[in-house]
Amino acid sequence: MELEAVYVEPAGADAPGVVAARAAGVPVRDVLAGVLAKVLDLVTPQDVVAVARQRGAGLDELVAGAVASSRPVLVLVELQDPGNAGTLVRVAEAAGCAGVVLTEHSVDVHNPKTVRASAGAVFRVPVAEGMSPAAVLEACAIAGLPTWATTGRGGTPVDGAPLAGACAVFLGSEAHGLPASVSDACTGRLTIPMEGRAESLNAGVAGALVAFEAARQRRVGELSGQPSGSTGVSLGHNDGSLDPRADRTGPDRPPATDAEP
């Protein structure tokens, strides 16, 4: 990330970040009090704002990083909610994922709400944007990367799936889940077992559970001295992808109808 300019109101003139920017030769422009509130979409913005040039990661680069580090990649397929997208970028950093892919028709990762939801992780986590799910699947296949489709029913329980090594976890949109063409092309399916009457989880929660399960398995493997490994399975949305009832039977379990993950 490269800073192009910093804009500061009088109250923020002596902020450490402003001082550091000046020392680094970044242009610092003074503005009148109240100006930033007029140009930003925040109700109560801070006294300092920076304009930065962000270098996006390439898909091949991101997949290669996953293979080299034996870490998962989160693939967000047509995910349009900025809060969930930002949360998943934040989760990717916290759980040690190799990066995040947002396919075409997904929210812009630099949407202000996405950036805020990521809590700054968007500036540190490799993120690739704009490619088709088919292109992501092809890149994973070429690299030998197992692919997991999230689904509500019929998949391997997430705590029983081998996620310790490099893999790609596909999560669908809140409204439609993963397209059948994507789920069918993945090497496996994952399901999050649930209790009670909850029908589904949203994409942010579902992705977090998978990412931290992968992190847990890595830690267990490191402690036991076992090498990381991974194979394919699935999780989902209104196609049943994250519906716990996939693994339960009984007259009190009606068909899932929720479109959330």
Q: How far apart are CA 44 and CA 121, in angstroms?
A: 21
Given a contact cutoff of 8 angstroms between Cβ atoms, the answer to whether 127 and 100 are in contact is yes
Question: For residue 206, what are the contacts with CB-CB under 8 A and spacing of at least 6?
Answer: 150, 171, 192, 235, 242, 261
Which of 29-38, 204-213, 240-249 comes out lowest in average pLDDT?
240-249
The residue ranges of every structural domain in the chain are 2-53, 59-247
Q: How far apart are CA 147 and CA 140, in angstroms?
A: 7
Q: Does residue 222 have a pLDDT over 60?
A: yes
Give the strand pairing for 48-53 and 2-8.
Answer: antiparallel
Span 136-154, average pLDDT = 95
Give 59-247's CATH code, choosing from 3.40.1280.10, 3.40.50.2000, 3.40.190.10, 3.40.605.10. Answer: 3.40.1280.10
Closest CA to 187 of 221, 152, 233: 233
Structure confidence at residue 226 (pLDDT): 62
Q: Report DSSP letters for the chain, one per residue.
A: -EEEEEEE-GGGTT-HHHHHHHHTT--EEE--TTHHHHHSS-SS--SEEEEEE--PPPHHHHHHHHHHHT-EEEEESS---HHHHHHHHHHHHHTT-SEEEE-TTSPPTTSHHHHHHTTTGGGTS-EEES--HHHHHHHHHHHT--EEEE-BSSSEEGGGS-BSSSEEEEE-BTTTBS-HHHHHHSSEEEE----TT-----HHHHHHHHHHHHHHHHHHHHHHTPPP-B--B---STTTBT-GGGG--STT-PPP-----
Q: Give the confidence band of 33 by pLDDT, cuts at 50, 70, 90.
A: very high
Amino acid (one-letter) located at 94: A
Q: How far apart are CA 151 and CA 177, in angstroms?
A: 8
- Quick: pLDDT tens for 184-199: 999 999 999 998 888 7
Q: Give the confidence band of 84 by pLDDT, cuts at 50, 70, 90.
A: very high
Q: Does residue 231 have a pLDDT over 70?
A: no
Which of 47-61, 97-111, 247-261 comes out lowest in average pLDDT?
247-261
Span 122-129, average pLDDT = 94
Q: Does residue 79 have a pLDDT over 60?
A: yes
Q: Give the confidence band of 259 by pLDDT, cuts at 50, 70, 90.
A: very low
